[in-house]
Copies of this chain bind each other. A is one copy, B any other.
Amino acid sequence: MNPPDKSVPEKTRETAALYFKGVTDERPYDLWRAFDKNLARDLSLFITGQMYAREKIPHTVRQLVTVAALTVLVRPEELKLHIQAALNVGCPPEDIAETIFQTAVYGGVPAVNTALKVLKAVLEEKGMWPPEPAEARP
Contacts and interface: CB of A to CB of B under 8 A. Distances in A.
A78 interface: yes
Q: Is the interface of A mostly helix, strand, loop or mixed?
A: helix
A95 interface: yes
Counting every copy of the chain, the complex holds 6
Interface in A46-78: 46-47, 50-51, 54, 56-57, 61-62, 64-75, 77-78
B65 A102 contact: yes
Interface in A70-108: 70-75, 77-78, 94-95, 97-99, 101-108
Contact count band on A: 35 or more
Contact of A135 (B1, B57, B95, B116): B1
